[in-house]
Amino acid sequence: MRTSRLGFVPWLLGPMGRMVLATTLLITGELPSYGTPLAEAPPPAQTDSTLDLPLDLSPSDNSTDKPSSSKASISENSFFDEIPSVYGAAKYDQKLNEAPAAVTLITAEQIRKYGYRTFSQILDNVPGLFTTNDRNYGYLGIRGFNRPGDYNTRVLILIDNHRMNDAVYDQGAIGTEAPIDVDVIDRVEIIKGPASSLYGTNAFFGVINVITKRGRDLKGVEASGEASSFNTYLGRLSYGNKFSNGMEVLLSGSYSGSEGHRELFYPEFSSTNNGIAKDADKDNFYYYTGKLTYGDFTLTGGYKWRKKQVPTAAFGTVFNDNRHNTVDERTYVDFSYQHEFANQLNLKARLYYDRYYYRGQYPYDYAGTGLPPFTLNQDSTQTDWWGAELTATKRLFDRHKITVGTEYRDQFRQYQANRDVEPPATYLEDKRDSSFIAGYLQHEWAITDHVTLNAGFRHDHYSTFGGTTNPRVGLISTWGKTTVKLLYGSAFRAPNSFEKFYVGSADFKTNPNLKPEKIRTYELILEQYLGNHIRGLASLYQYDITGLITQTTDLADGRLFFNNTEDITARGMELTLEGKWPTGIEGRVSYALQSNHSERTERLITNSPQHLVKTNVIVPIIADKLFAGFEGRYTSSRLTLAGNSASPFYILNVSLFSQQLVKGWELSAHINNLVNQKYGYLGSGEHLQDIINQDGRTFWVKLKYRF
């Protein structure tokens, strides 16, 4: 039975009533203060020109923080006495407890000790997030939402604050197709909640900002090699340095090749080769990235090429035909300027160019004979765009910080084509362009030494459908070791060219009348330091989606198309405890409860696990030299597209990490799915499989040397 709108006690008063009541309690409450007076705040630190972060990356340095009493509120003996900073929540550096969002940080040290080798592995162990994979692309779920057929369009992926979602599919890549090498990541900021008030489209459920390392972090040449299951190999060569004239450079390149599973069994295709896809799971890629900083100027860029064979016979293709593959190329260049003026004015400007290319090859049996020769159908997409952004942040009268910005993007090529190679036939050749211009305003007001109001909005005007305005407001109260946040925000996602105009040989049809989808989110967050070594985070939220763009099958012709068919109401709770001790032990345990319902069907939506439990712990075996990492994650059952229930599963991973056992060398080893749990992820509308089985026990080893 569907949960009543009044079924959760925290929502008894209705959204606005709850906000008013909690606001009154926050402003009038009399809690003891552990903080320092306003006048005793330290002077601003010198900032890095790339991300407005302190030059030494110490979390205690913060060039743009308001002089709040929260900074010195934790005991000097605590491992949390220097609260980490986050950039992406406000487009300037601020403490976690001051950010108007629930934020999780994953550091380079955690990536090394837990043995994360892909971006999706990092995200899979973040509280409230879950990933899936259809043996072609990786998909991200957040707060119980991950619709089949969605290419991660509702989470904005950034690299050094540069947008990575492309301009045709809006895909935020997280699998091996992602233009990210985990070895050059300094930290990952996972910022939950709507953020269109700063970032516009795709910042629907949140923003994930990947901050890469700088030249000073390497100070020389670094080489690494990896080997893992399924004849998978990866090599990387990186160079980084900071020179005496202040110039800083980082260059990195990597290559990976994987044979994949030699045989994959799909009972849905038992009439073809006994349901076995043979040698159809190869995955190869190479990746280059660079960052050059001199004074107030920074030049960054990257290039990623990946080719993946597809063993699942998606989109009605011929099963066990190794010509079925996809190729993805992603290129970007970003030139930015940032300067901190003496009058506490911070000015940031950026100019960027992006390109995305896709090619898919699909063998079809148009004759229906089951006998070759089969027709090879080819999809191709190319999109190019450039843009510019200008942001100014100014502190006024000690208690006010104003951010004003504008952004323009010109998507001057949005090309999609679909054709048969031989005999030649063209089904789609769509050439388009589009653009938008946006302006945003954010205001952070320190009402008292303990209470801050963060509010703002952004207006986007699109050449395709017109304008949309999205606000955000947060009331944040910090009293000693306790922080309470009351948040409200709205966001939108513009329909993309793929959803509106794509048509294939037999599978898709267009819907040019799609409209933007909208979300409104209400959230209450409690952050609490427990003693000197444990931090707790609790979050209660509700969001309402209207006009959700959903992949749908037309019963009249069996073809897939996208439509604004659903409204979604969701309520959830996330609980997290994380700790770090002087012995070197650190860890985190989290639980997420989420309930998402379709207003139209009054049922739980598909691919929405109601329970997520995650545990992570790092244990030193030899102090500062050898560490063991343990991860466990439980995912409850999910409703499939066919109306079945995907079985719940528990995955346990174990890793070993050593450093300086031999000078200059690092050795890592990892076993994924230690107990060989059998589990699967949901298929989408293009799959005959209701559930796509995933890998059992796998391993990898890595050796790294720094010259």
Q: Check residue 81 and give its pLDDT.
A: 57
Q: Is the pLDDT of residue 526 over 60?
A: yes
> Following DSSP, what letter does each residue of 547-562 receive, concatenated?
EEEEEEE-TTT--EEE
Instruction: Give CA–CA dist 661/305, Å, rounded.
Output: 35
Instruction: Give CA–CA dist 558/361, Å, rounded.
Output: 22
Q: What is the DSSP letter of 261?
A: -
Residue 583: what are its φ and ψ, rounded to 5°? Answer: -70, -15
Q: Check residue 660 and give its pLDDT.
A: 82
Domain 9-706: what homologous superfamily? TonB-dependent receptor, beta-barrel domain (2.40.170.20)
CA 570 vs CA 350, 427, 674: distances in Å: 37, 40, 34
295-323 tens-digit pLDDT? 999 999 999 999 999 999 999 999 999 99
The residue ranking higher by pLDDT, 398 or 541, is: 541
Q: Check residue 148 and give its pLDDT.
A: 80
In contact, 403 and 92? CB cutoff 8 Å: yes
Q: Check residue 335 and give its pLDDT.
A: 98
Per-residue pLDDT averaged across 86-102, rounded?
A: 93
Instruction: Give CA–CA dist 25/173, Å, rounded.
Output: 42
Grade residue 198 by pLDDT with cuts at 50, 70 and 90.
Answer: very high
The least confident of 6-10, 400-404, 582-586, 646-650 is 6-10
Per-residue pLDDT averaged across 591-601, rounded?
A: 89
Q: Check residue 558 and give its pLDDT.
A: 79
Of 319, 274, 263, 361, nearest in space to 687 by CA: 319
Instruction: Give CA–CA dist 658/667, Å, rounded.
Output: 5
Q: Check residue 505 and give its pLDDT.
A: 63
Q: Is the pLDDT of residue 579 over 70?
A: yes
Task: Write the secondary structure of 223-238 as one string of H (helix), E (strand) and C (coil).
Answer: EEEEEECCCEEEEEEE
Burial tier of 276 (Cβ tally within 10 Å: 0-12, 13-18, 19+)? middle
The structural domains of the chain, with segments of one domain joined by +, span: 9-706
The least confident of 329-343, 486-500, 548-562 is 548-562
Q: Check residue 506 and give its pLDDT.
A: 61
Q: Check residue 51 and give its pLDDT.
A: 38
Per-residue pLDDT averaged across 30-50, rounded?
A: 36
Q: Check residue 57 and give its pLDDT.
A: 33
452-464 tens-digit pLDDT? 999 999 999 999 9
Tokens of 650: 């528990």
Q: How far is CA 255 from the centre of its chain?
A: 23
Per-residue pLDDT averaged across 226-243, rounded?
A: 96
Instruction: Give CA–CA dist 15/212, Å, rounded.
Output: 38
650-685 tens-digit pLDDT? 999 999 999 888 888 999 999 999 999 999 999 988
Tokens of 678: 């059998």
Instruction: Give CA–CA dist 617/44, Å, rounded.
Output: 35
Instruction: Give CA–CA dist 643/606, Å, rounded.
Output: 8
Q: Is the pLDDT of residue 47 over 90?
A: no
Instruction: Give CA–CA dist 469/460, Å, rounded.
Output: 6
Q: How far is CA 436 from the centre of its chain?
A: 23
Q: Is the pLDDT of residue 8 over 60?
A: no
458-485 tens-digit pLDDT? 999 999 999 999 999 999 999 989 999 9
Instruction: Give CA–CA dist 92/403, Å, rounded.
Output: 9
Burial tier of 564 (Cβ tally within 10 Å: 0-12, 13-18, 19+)? middle
Per-residue pLDDT averaged across 123-149, rounded?
A: 93
The residue ranking higher by pLDDT, 387 or 33, is: 387
Instruction: Give CA–CA dist 135/264, Å, rounded.
Output: 11
60-90 tens-digit pLDDT? 333 333 333 333 343 334 455 577 899 999 9
Q: Which residues contact 538 (CB under 8 A, 6 or more apart)?
A: 525, 526, 528, 573, 574, 575, 576
Instruction: Return the percentage of the chain with pLDDT > 90, whole number.
Output: 77
The 10 Å Cβ neighbour count of residue 37 is: 10
Instruction: Give CA–CA dist 3/626, Å, rounded.
Output: 49
Q: Check residue 63 and give its pLDDT.
A: 39
Tokens of 493: 């996602």
Q: Check residue 24 and give its pLDDT.
A: 38
